[in-house]
Amino acid sequence: MNLLEKGPIPYLEGDKIQRQVHAEVAAGQRPDTLILQEFEPTWTAGRRTKPQDIPDSSLPVIEMDRGGSVTWHGPGQLVCYPIVLMREPIDVVRFVRDMESGIRGAIEGTWQVKTDIVKGRSGVWILREGMIDRKICAIGVRTAQGTSMHGLALNVNPDLESGFGRIIPCGLADASVTSLAEMGVETTLQQVANALVPHLETALRRSQRVNNVHNS
């Protein structure tokens, strides 16, 4: 369900698609599926969101049943939901680590931008000497009926200040955000999707009950 060609869509429209696909995958009516989307500007609040994480309510704030705190979605950001029937016993931490591995492989292998992970914090980070830690890709997932949902938000070329400047991204006051554009990469969401999908497919095979991923 590659919606990048449509341009940004309302967040709840994309969420409705995700939940329909999740139900079909969980019921064995559809293979594991990667959903790729770009959203209209909104903030989503995960289960760990505190009131002080959203000091500005000028954008819609949508409460979601995923892990993590508040984040921004909007134009210039690639959102990918891996809807995967997971191997038992289900290990969500390993699933997140596998996602991080796939994201890092795509960024480093395609654009030679060094990325990192931060102990105790999910997502993919840019760590540079003398600079605050900056997250380039947020991750928030959950499982239901043995199947994963939600996923990752990779900043390609968004307006970081308007998107993240009025919240505490991911509830981390001692960190910041960045993007591929800010790291000197000139690319499009579709090109990033093309690079990301094969890396994610490979990385997530360890967590899949059946190694069969469909990019839609």
User: Could you give the angle at which helices 92-111 and 189-203 cross, rounded to 10 degrees?
Assistant: 130
Catalytic residue among 26, 156, 168, 170: 170
Cα angle at 122 between 24 and 128, to 5 degrees? 140
Amino acid letter, residue 57: S
SS3 170: helix
Question: How far is Cα 128 from Cα 116, in angstroms, rounded to an integer?
Answer: 10
Question: How far is Cα 131 from Cα 128, in angstroms, rounded to an integer?
Answer: 6
CB 32 within 8 A of CB 200: no
170 is catalytic: yes
Which residues fall within 8 angstroms of residue 200, CB to CB, at 6 or more apart?
34, 80, 82, 99, 102, 103, 106
Task: Show which residues are catalytic.
Answer: 170
